[in-house]
Amino acid sequence: MNNDNRSNSSGARPPGPRSAPPSPWAITLGTVAGIPIRLHMTFLLFLAFLALVIYRGPDSGVGLLFLIGVFGCVLLHELGHSLVARKYGIPVSEIVLYPIGGVARMEKIPKPHEELWIALAGPAVNLVIAIAILIGLIATGSMGTLGSWINMRVGDGFWIQELMIANLMLAFFNLIPAFPMDGGRILRAILALIMGEVPATRIAVAVGQFMAFVMGFIGLILPSVILIFIAFFVFIGASQEGTYYQSRALVQGLSARAAMLTDFRTLPVGATLQEATNLLLETSQQDFPVIYGEEVVGVLSRQSLLRGLSTEGPSGYVTGSMQRDFLIASPDADLQELAANLQAGQQTCALIMEHEKLVGMVTMENLAEFLIIQQIMQRQQGQTT
């Protein structure tokens, strides 16, 4: 990707990998290997529910140990994904723990061969944990009899054995080829090595949605609310991943020049928020580069303008409300990569610079319009061929 290498004294940043904003409704527990570990608020409600159930039983302490062990293993599962991703140079912004498992948020989409090993790493961690527990049980003579394994309960002191079984189940369940679960990602990665990412994703999405229907049907027969919930999660996740990869395919091989706005307005550093408001109402533009001479020193977004009006009033200056940290790219920058950075960051636009001069803008709004036009054009081409 060709970046503009101008000075960063104004706060401009080339569109390299950026830290995504933290997941909403999640609290930070700490960091492991530099990766923030966060707990979603729904997980706290789930823990409260389980605590009530466990507290009523005679062996609440043992049950709590088992519960902590299971979610510790879920965390290790996600760390397995994350550490392999970082080995391939893919930043991981956070790991979020939900009631149904964990999610490692990566800031860059891996290549097919990278995705294969990243997806395999999570279930592999659970298998290693299960084998380690088995070896420990054999070494300490705590394997027990066949009858004890058949009738074992966590409350009877068998929480270590149950933890081993839980890890085997986590590994097996995650290897089911239901995209976007690990097994579905493995399927997509193998197919992508053979036929390319777009058709591979299309097949993986179809398989994932079919598997979701199967799980949902089984959940209705049993009945199992948890299985129905997981089926719903898999179906929605597969649909979202399919839409995302379809959008990537529409801009594959294109540069920022193809989608950038060339007819735009700017604001001088001495402009007031009232002048910016007038410009916002006169045009359809929502992001305004702030200029000092010919140098871009900031970007005033619609949100920043409204926030400035509420705190400083219309007589305030745009320099007090503008964002000094903004994305820059050259006209030849890869549009697919630029779009990913816009989605991952908190900026609403990227400024296109050529030879130290502002020549265009790529905003989320015009990028969405560009994708719609590309989709229509591709559909028309498919009908004429």
306-321: average pLDDT: 93
Question: At 321, is the pLDDT very low, low, confident or very high (cuts 50, 70, 90)?
Answer: very high
- pLDDT given for residue 306 in this prediction: 94
276-282: average pLDDT: 93
Question: At 230, is the pLDDT very low, low, confident or very high (cuts 50, 70, 90)?
Answer: confident
Residues in the chain: 385
Domains of the chain listed by start with CATH number? 33-175 (no CATH), 179-250 (no CATH), 256-384 (3.10.580.10)
The residue type found at 378 is Q
C-alpha dist (Å) from residue 197 to 252, 298, 381: 11, 37, 21
Give one word for 253, left, alpha or beta, with left for phi > 0 and alpha for psi -120 to 50. Answer: left
Position with higher pLDDT, 25 vs 328 = 328
Question: At 151, is the pLDDT very low, low, confident or very high (cuts 50, 70, 90)?
Answer: low
113-128: average pLDDT: 96
Is pTM, for the whole model, over 0.85? no
- pLDDT given for residue 171 in this prediction: 93
196-202: average pLDDT: 85
187-205: average pLDDT: 90
User: In the predicted model, is pLDDT for residue 9 greater than 60?
Assistant: no
Position with higher pLDDT, 163 vs 246 = 163
Residue 20 DSSP class: P
User: In the predicted model, is pLDDT for residue 278 greater than 90?
Assistant: yes
> And the tokens for 85?
């991703």
Lowest mean pLDDT among 55-59, 280-284, 378-382: 55-59
User: In the predicted model, is pLDDT for residue 221 greater than 70?
Assistant: yes
Q: By C-alpha distance, which of 72, 55, 56, 58 is closest to 157?
A: 58
Position with higher pLDDT, 151 vs 165 = 165
Lowest mean pLDDT among 242-256, 275-289, 294-308: 242-256
Q: By C-alpha distance, which of 257, 258, 261, 247 is closest to 378?
A: 247
Q: By C-alpha distance, which of 129, 198, 113 is closest to 169?
A: 129
